[in-house]
A = this chain, B = another copy of it.
């Protein structure tokens, strides 16, 4: 898994890192992700999930993606149930604590149909960070003594060469592609992120390709008026897709909160019959609509407006 350094640098050098426009459609961006690719997913749980891009990848029939995300909610259920992924690396996987243990995750992992590879939250973050830093590993002080590390042959327990103390080393994770949803970026991919950044900055720099979806494309001039607000540099970005409500039914900080009614209904439907419930959901919300706009229409204007009303309130303090 840990890449050879020269190979890692070579992949980066091969990319066109110049300041150039890279705006495209969801479908065009989906074409940049191959079957079997390793995919880092930005955001966390219900926040800034790159839902539009995941939606597009499932619709495009992508298979056997190896996915990694800090904390995984029902986007992971959709990835498993659609066959887009059968291997997910994360620290926690369920729709969300208020909805109980994920029935889909259980169904797929307990029967061996898919794998949920569990690392501690900090370990996931440090694996992306090592990848972003161009080093093969980072040291940390958790996961030692637990059974989590025992199931992860890729970890190394060492005696610190400086202090003699025990340390856990976790290997770099450099996904083939990162999917990241942001509040705004320019056509070159200079991205600003408001609120909780999660692991997205490290993920973007760790990945060998970055696909940004954004609530809004702004001018480069706006970016350059406040360069200290740029969180992901254009150099690291390969595709920019404007996708309003691109995280729905999850949230995007400062713009909209989750569509809780939709998520409650989804959870109830899964609870009644996991296999059939998720199949019907995919049919209706993922395969059914002709476009992202039509998908949003299915979510419903009333719920989107309500989510937006709740989300914007943080600017009113």
Contacts and interface: CB of A to CB of B under 8 A. Distances in A.
Interface string A167-180: 10101000000000
A171 to B, nearest CB: 5
A27 interface: no
A114 B308 CA distance: 61
B139 A160 contact: no
Given A2-B163, A156-B162, A139 B141 contact: no
Contacts of A19: none
B134 A137 contact: no
B161 A5 contact: no
Given A156-B161, A162-B156, A228-B195, A167 B317 contact: no
A134 B141 contact: yes
Interface string A111-143: 000000000000000000000001111111100
Contacts of A2: 162-163
A317 B167 CA distance: 49
Contacts of A160: 136-137
A16 interface: no
Contacts of A137: 139, 160-162
B136 A140 contact: no
B4 A163 contact: yes
In the complex, the count of this chain's copies comes to: 2
B139 A163 contact: no
A220 to B, nearest CB: 12
A169 B165 contact: no
A169 B162 contact: yes
A136 B156 contact: no
A302 interface: no
A224 interface: yes
Contacts of A171: 162
A139 B165 CA distance: 16
Given A5-B141, A224-B317, A136 B158 contact: no
Given A161-B169, A224-B317, 4 more contacts: A5-B165, A135-B140, A136-B162, A162-B171
3 closest residue pairs by CB, A with B: A2-B162, A135-B139, A136-B162
